[in-house]
Amino acid sequence: MDMSLLKYLTLDTVTPDLKGTNKQEIIEELLDIICRTGKVKDRKAALDAILAREHKMSTGMENGIAIPHGKTDAVEELVACVGISKHPVDFNSLDGKPCRIFIMTVSPSHRTGPHIQFLSEISTLLRSESKRNRLLEAKDAKTILQILAERP
């Protein structure tokens, strides 16, 4: 994997312990993590963009992964975070199964490149069942980052 994932993820934007119990709570919690980076000028605009995208079609993928994302002028560059939940959360996934691995990105409205690349790297990375299982067992942000940094 090229390092662009790690360009966007830091110990501060990765958590092994999301508390939310439903889709809305998880989205808000992930957005709070992203907002703590100081790179989001308008939390409400970012939230609206993410929820609008979610309303069009759920970002709950398969294999327990969801990638809520939105495009908004509230950010000037792609901002991302990763959260793991100890409890399965219903995210209206494509395969009908609940999610425990969440990757959120918020990116500028006018730029698609970094956003598409990030999502494509995430999906490649998470095809591995053993990698997903290790993420679910990770106890801290450092471990999550190490797993994400490994080559497939």
Among 147, 120, 149, smallest CA distance to 131 is for 147
Distance CA 115, CA 98 (A): 24
Q: How many CA atoms lie within 13 A of 16 on its CB side?
A: 18
Among 26, 7, 10, smallest CA distance to 18 is for 26
Tell me if residue 69 is catalytic.
yes
From 69, 87, 110, 115, the catalytic residue: 69
In the DSSP assignment, the letter for residue 15 is: E
Question: What are residue 15's phi and psi, to 5 degrees?
Answer: -140, 135
Catalytic residues: 69
